[in-house]
Structure 1
Amino acid sequence: MKLDPFYLIVDSAEWIARLVPLGVKLVQLRIKDKETAELRAEIRTAKAVCAAHGCQLIVNDYWQLTIEEGCDFVHLGQEDLEAADLGAIRAAGLKLGLSTHDDVELGTALAAKPDYIALGPIYPTILKQMKWSPQGPERLRIWKERLGDLPLVAIGGLNVDRIERVLTHGADSAAVVTDITLSAHPETRTQEWLAVTTRWRAAKTPLDR
């Protein structure tokens, strides 16, 4: 499968309704600490917006709700992967994305036969506390050589100025959170991401490996 080079990650359906209509084609709904009824409502709203705008929705963590609400893509962290029923996920036809931070986690992720693997943090990030130091874009090159055709997502500390650097080092997609959600002008910043990644996609620049 192919991933859009611009991978937006937000924590509410409200953000999705606000930004997806600008042209976003790949978005993850990543919500923490909400009750099931609230989560279900958020997923339903996000799904409807994405369907209306031809955007691929990926739900973070909540694979049971993802199945129940008829979504087709879930992303799991390593701890979530341990508790997840991969058989049920595959039986439901869900695509699966997995987070990795080191070689051990990469091995675990590959054994689950995901549809993409994310590596992070590439740069220092303020999204959450992590025990891993920034990987640096060179790490992407190493990961991509091991993954081959399996899509690789770069995440952690990315901004507009760093997009092309991670893409030229092997990432198929660049995931962004705070560079957009903490921006004074999120719509403008989203359009900047769209412009850079659209140029990248159109140019079909070969990976510099």
Structure 2
Amino acid sequence: MKEKITPVRTIRDQIVGMLRADILSGRLPRGTKLREQALAERFGVSRAPIRDVIMQLTQQGLAVSEPNCGATVSERAAEWMQPLIVKIRLDIEIFALRKSIKQIGDNDIARLEELVEGIGKACADGDMAAVADLDISFHEALLSCADEPDLIAIWLPIVTRMILQYTRLVEREEIHEEHVEILEAVRAKDIQRAVRALKQNIR
């Protein structure tokens, strides 16, 4: 049965969102082939937008594409790479926060509050795909406050690869509390507290 797509966002963005949720939740396991024809039939579209979707998933680090082999869902990074991935992500987010924290406005805070509330609800519901997706959205919103698109382009493949192996997502209450602490530190424009909260969350 074809899945219903609403006209709120572009078709490509909606399909990317659905497949990202499938990957983060494990419904599409690591190493799964992303076949254009099968996905086109699933979403009731031609193969052209599916090719764009797969390219976007690859740019986000959720899929890997090899010549003449097609695309597959990304595997976990090697264990030895984990400290490096964490360090790079932290460096980017702390850099962005130091640049932006004094100028973060009410609209930015309202967006972060909305996302933290969503994380709390998803944790209470046990919806791990939503928790992972909202986690990424929260940190992306925080990065956006620095108004440096290149930072997000560098950061996104790193954070999505990290989320693919995010075993801490089982600690639902803790993950919500960590995002509350980041929000409160940002609201208070307390950079030292915010950095401590980021380090507690990203590990």
Check whether TM > 0.5: no
Larger radius of gyration: 2
If each structure's helix is expressed as a fraction of its own residues, which one has the higher value? 2
Structure with bigger strand share is 1
TM-score of the two chains, using structure 2 as the length reference = 0.28
Normalization by structure 1: what TM-score? 0.28
